[in-house]
Chain A
């Protein structure tokens, strides 16, 4: 096998698949990527056994081959070579020789037959198409609420629920929950899957802001995404996601609208002096006024006062400020609305110009 490829052409798929390669492995082949050439194209595949990303790029050398080589080292080499340099790859006696200009590298390879590729399940139950910028935007608005390494494994991911003409996406870590929905324009049978955390973050990283479509294929134990020459196969989390409808409150009477950036900046300032471990902040609501008060264990205090349009009950509610900053950072709209029932029940954050978005956060008793 021998191929010639431009450094820039190779670098793009190489960095795309590298994201899921774990550095430390008990299985050495998992730190390798699968390099395949056939039919005028080169394709690269990486997997962590939970998900797999492959990306192919056209390349004139029609040599048919397959081998595996350390993903990290190949990426480092390509990245540090000068722009647009021509790279020659040659496979010899279980070694991959890379040469570009006067540089030469020999890498160990492992047989491609041993590479644990994931196969797509043939029984796809549902197929969706939507512009990738739209899908990416949906994910970005909810992904921050996912749990991280929670023992409730089903929370370490996003729920994708397709019901009739709607797609609902939900993330929660047990303390706060984010929800978004969108219209699909055609009716589907009810279907729900939980996408693992890593899949979600990789999708956000790999999709771009273009109108180009992403093809989403969902089956009971797998989700496949196809876009920009990338094919991502992911296992789904086998579990029952909590009933989000019961958690999202309705009919909260005490509400106010506020400029998102303004309240975000005030909170960021107040959070400097919040307790560094549990980050408590108090929202004190009075007639047309919102005060944000925090204090830390060294008795230092911060207070921010904001003018709002508020006629509801006076309230004094404590929150983990990180949960509030998170939501304000991850939505892009100009205004947000906060709605409360009382100091002990959950707070609902909505966006006036997007009725499909909801964020629920539990108060904290400080």
Chain B
């Protein structure tokens, strides 16, 4: 029984109803209306935009800009459905560079709220205003306005009580509005933004450089931990800031990706970013980043969804590769190279949760040792600096003036040299776990197991990357049931699969057989591996599943071969570790994304002891 179907003739729906239906997609909550208004203001070349909200934007939401404004005769049309000044033909749509283009937003908002639009186009003598009350438009009235436009939305969903019920509390709706505001503000650092809520100012962002805007919106901690990035590749450019893996979040809140200035949440981009962080981030943590992708508008389609948070790329695989490589490169920094290295400040580390690996491994109670000291050569610096002849000790009788001069010169070099090593020189080992070192700025504390693990891991990876992939044909090929897409991929991408060390034969339209797999993964579940690889090859044109699996193996090997806690190291060994860290990529994090070292500057230490205060 299909319920009651009332026989009705087929008819065109009234315009207001069409807009109200469209509003269901576009205007989900006040924040979506705010996004539309802000994008209109930006498309109108505004340089200063002020937003004021009442009751989380439900009661009133007002956006005032200083843009080009709307001429009097177009004002009524602006609120009509499918009316826009942004595109005029299909060619325009294909090359659209403005944020909006569908011509739906204002009409949709007007149909479910009390909207007023005041605007004074450049060159006009005064402003005009039009009101819309649930889709009923008033006549144009003269109004006072210096320039630009003001759009004000009141009582959202006053005429659709069903939707009104879906609105959350004022605080939640304000949170969403603020997020929408932040997204837009991040995308246009050259435009000044203001946000007031219930009369009190929440954000005031003067126009500034991109990095300052990012710092202002996402906080100074993010800015301190972020690596700037700017990569150009063909028609693509990726720039912005990506936080170091040690600045990771439990949630996905600090993730902003823009394609041609438009905020998007795209699966392909997210996947590429995730992969770039894969090696350095704990799998339950989320990276933080603000990234802008610039691409020829003709190569991307934003007209996927009315809210335009999804995009389609003409060549998704190339975009995926480009993003992955750019970000991967940026993240592959070595210890001590970044100027803002190790942003850990004592007060913050104290509040941070302790890392679980060491929590489960309490330090052994201290066993005092018999004070038998083996003499540690005090001239280890010399061996490090590669000097073979010992320093003349003092001015013995036979020494000439030249000898002394040389000695003094060498001495002054050796005093200056420590500056050249960002991680400095080891002083001691703490409870068999941490290496303490001093550099010119202060104290360095290194988690020796974590650091060594990363070094071993990177070595194993480079060694294996240099070799061709060894394949192990299977004595008993594994056949498995596959869907059509998998079969098609196996047929079409045979070469790609062979390069990865796979041989997958098509037995029937629904059966595939794995005939050989990469030798290093010979003990894994071949069918599951083949499925993962096929899916990756299909979606992203190549597969990192294998590299990831291989890296897991290597990580385990690295963990076993790295020095364990409680293994005492000599000063020379510790120095060698520090030098290795400086030379190893990604050595700021261990394989699990935990930091391997942090820095306490003399200033920080002075502060702790309240010296000079």
Contacts from A to B (Cβ < 8 Å) = 151-152, 172, 174-177, 242, 247, 275-278, 280, 297-298, 318, 320, 344, 346, 360-366
Instruction: Decide: B522 and A365 in contact? CB cutoff 8 A.
Output: no
Q: Check if B522 sits within 8 Å of A278, measured CB to CB.
A: yes
Residue of A nearest to B468 (CB): A366
Flag if A320 contacts B519 (CB, 8 Å).
yes
Binding site secondary structure of chain B: mixed
Asked if B372 is at the interface (CB within 8 A of a chain A CB), the reply is no
A278 to B516, CA, bound (A): 14
Judge whether B475 and A364 touch: CB under 8 Å.
no
How many Å lie between the Cα of A298 and that of B474 in the bound state? 27
Min C-beta distance of A70 to chain B, whole Å = 28
Min CB–CB distance A231 → chain B (angstroms): 34
Which listed residue, A177, A297, A318, touches B466 by the CB 8 Å rule? A297
Assess the A176–B471 pair: CB atoms within 8 A.
no
A275 vs B474: C-alpha distance when bound (angstroms): 20
Interface size classification for chain B: 20 to 34
A177-B475, A297-B464, A360-B475 given. 17 additional CB < 8 A pairs?
A: A174-B474, A174-B478, A175-B472, A242-B476, A275-B470, A277-B464, A277-B520, A278-B520, A297-B463, A297-B467, A298-B463, A320-B472, A344-B473, A346-B475, A362-B472, A365-B471, A365-B473
> Complex formed: what's the CA distance from A276 to B554 in Å?
11
Q: Which residues of B contact A (CB under 8 A)?
A: 460, 463-464, 466-468, 470-476, 478, 516, 519-520, 522, 525, 553, 557
What distance in Å separates the Cβ of A60 from its nearest Cβ neighbour in chain B?
53
* CB atoms of A174 and B470 under 8 A apart: no
* Complexed CA–CA distance, A298 and B557 (Å): 16
Q: Contact: A172 with B476, CB < 8 Å? A: yes
Query: Is A277 touching B557 in the complex (CB atoms < 8 A)?
Result: yes
Contacts of B525 in A (CB 8 A): 151
> 16 A-B pairs, CB-CB below 8 angstroms?
A174-B478, A175-B472, A176-B475, A247-B476, A275-B470, A278-B522, A280-B519, A320-B522, A361-B475, A362-B474, A365-B471, A365-B472, A365-B473, A365-B519, A366-B468, A366-B519
B-side contacts of A175, CB under 8 Å: 472, 474-475, 522
Q: Is the CB of B475 within 8 A of A318?
A: no
Whether B476 and A364, one on each chain, are in contact in the complex, defined by CB atoms closer than 8 angstroms, is: no
Cβ contact of A363, chosen from B460, B466, B473, cutoff 8 A:
B473
CB contacts (< 8 Å) of A320 on chain B: these are: 472, 519, 522
* A298 (CB) vs chain B CBs: closest residue: B463
Q: Give the shortest distance, in Å, between A364 (CB) and chain B (any CB).
A: 5
| B519 touching A174, Cβ below 8 Å | no
User: With A151-B525, A298-B463, A364-B470 given, is the CB distance from A278 to B519 under 8 Å?
Assistant: yes
Contact B470 A366 (CB under 8 A): yes
Shortest distance from the beta carbon of A243 to any chain B beta carbon, whole Å: 9
What are the nearest 4 A-B pairs in CB distance?
A: A297-B463, A278-B519, A365-B471, A366-B470
Shortest B193–chain A CB gap in Å is 54
Interface of A (DSSP majority class): loop
CA of A361 to CA of B467, assembled, Å: 24
Contact at B470–A172, with CB atoms within 8 Å? no
Cα A320 to Cα B470 with chains together (Å): 10
CB-CB < 8 A to A152: which residues of B?
478
* Residues from chain B with Cβ under 8 Å of A280 in the complex: 470, 519
Is the pair A277, B472 in contact by a Cβ cutoff of 8 Å?
A: no
CB distance from A315 to the nearest CB of B (A): 16
- A365–B470 touching, CB < 8 Å: yes
In angstroms, how far is the closest chain A Cβ from the Cβ of B485? 23
A176–B522 Cα distance when bound, in Å, is: 12
CB distance from A279 to the nearest CB of B (A): 8
The CA-CA distance from A297 to B459 in the complex, in Å, is: 10
Please indicate which of the listed interface residues B460, B468, B516, B519 has the most CB atoms of chain A within 10 Å of its own CB. Answer: B519
A346 CB contacts on chain B under 8 angstroms: 475
Please name all residues of chain A whose beta carbon is closer than 8 Å to the beta carbon of B460 when the two chains form the complex: 297
- Name the CB-closest residue of A to B554: A277
Contact A318 B470 (CB under 8 A): yes
User: Bound state CA distance, A366 and B478, in angstroms?
Assistant: 21
User: In the bound complex, how far is the Cα of B596 from the Cα of A26, in angstroms?
Assistant: 39
Interchain CA distance A247-B477 in the complex, whole Å: 10
Interface residue from B470, B475, B478, B553 paired with A362 (Cβ < 8 Å): B475
Q: Which residues of B contact A176 (CB under 8 A)?
A: 475
Residue of B nearest to A242 (CB): B476
Q: Which residue of B lies closest to A361 (CB)?
A: B475
- CB contacts (< 8 Å) of B472 on chain A: these are 175, 278, 320, 362, 364-365
User: What residues of B have a CB within 8 angstroms of the CB of A277 in the complex?
Assistant: 464, 520, 553, 557
- Across-interface contacts of B516 in A (CB, < 8 A): 365
Q: How far is the CA of A45 from the CA of B491 in the complex (A)?
A: 56
B470: A residues at CB distance < 8 A: 275, 278, 280, 318, 364-366
Residue in A closest to B519 when the chains form the complex, CB atoms: A278
Cα separation A135 to B478 with both chains bound (whole Å): 32
